[in-house]
């Protein structure tokens, strides 16, 4: 889970002296999804102020599943932020070198086999007894 959360907080921005009331809600949500805050390899501001009254801030965050070895840590690339005011966050995704063989069955479009398959499905749907659909459970039984 990543994005611009617009929450300034000392938990992820040591230059910001305050704690936000929204931090607890964000961390609770992340925890409910099995995610932890991922600190960047190179901590820096993630948003650069576009006026003299604001300061640069850390509001773009990354949360990852700590047990998922596919996602590594992320890094910030402040040299790439222009023309936007946010810094790109780049995360490493491990891709296995294992070759995965896939096979599947298919029916040629407009073939006799396709026509027979569609007819069989249509006949089965038309044969369903729908007179006793009085609840979701009855519907599930009929569909099964």
Q: How many helices (H) and strands (E) does the chain have?
A: 3, 5
CA–CA gap between residue 76 and residue 56 (Å, rounded): 14
Count the domains in the chain: 2
Q: Are residues 85 and 19 both part of a single domain? A: yes
Contact 63, 38 (CB under 8 A): yes
Single pTM value for the model: 0.61
- The number of C-alpha atoms within 13 Å of 87 and in the hemisphere containing its C-beta is 25
CATH code (residue 84):
3.60.10.10
Q: Do 116 and 75 share a structural domain?
A: no
SS3 state of residue 114: helix
pLDDT digits (tens, 9 = 90+) for 75-110: 998 888 777 789 999 887 877 777 777 788 889 999
> Is the same domain home to 12 and 70?
yes
State which residues form the domain around 123. 112-143
- Does 64 lie in the same domain as 27? yes
DSSP-derived 3-state class of residue 27 = helix
């Amino acid at each position: 889970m990543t994005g611009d959360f617009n929450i300034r907080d000392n938990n992820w921005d040591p230059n910001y002296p305050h704690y936000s009331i929204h931090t607890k809600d964000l961390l609770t949500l992340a925890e409910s999804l099995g995610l932890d805050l991922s600190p960047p390899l190179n901590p820096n501001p993630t948003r650069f102020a576009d006026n003299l009254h604001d300061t640069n801030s850390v509001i773009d965050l990354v949360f990852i599943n700590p047990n998922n070895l596919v996602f590594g840590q992320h890094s910030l690339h402040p040299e790439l932020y222009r023309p936007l005011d946010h810094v790109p966050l780049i995360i490493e995704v491990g891709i296995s070198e294992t070759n995965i063989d896939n096979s599947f069955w298919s029916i040629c479009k407009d073939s006799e086999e396709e026509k027979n398959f569609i007819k069989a499905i249509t006949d089965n749907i038309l044969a369903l007894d729908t007179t006793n659909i009085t609840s979701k459970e009855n519907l599930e039984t009929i569909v099964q």
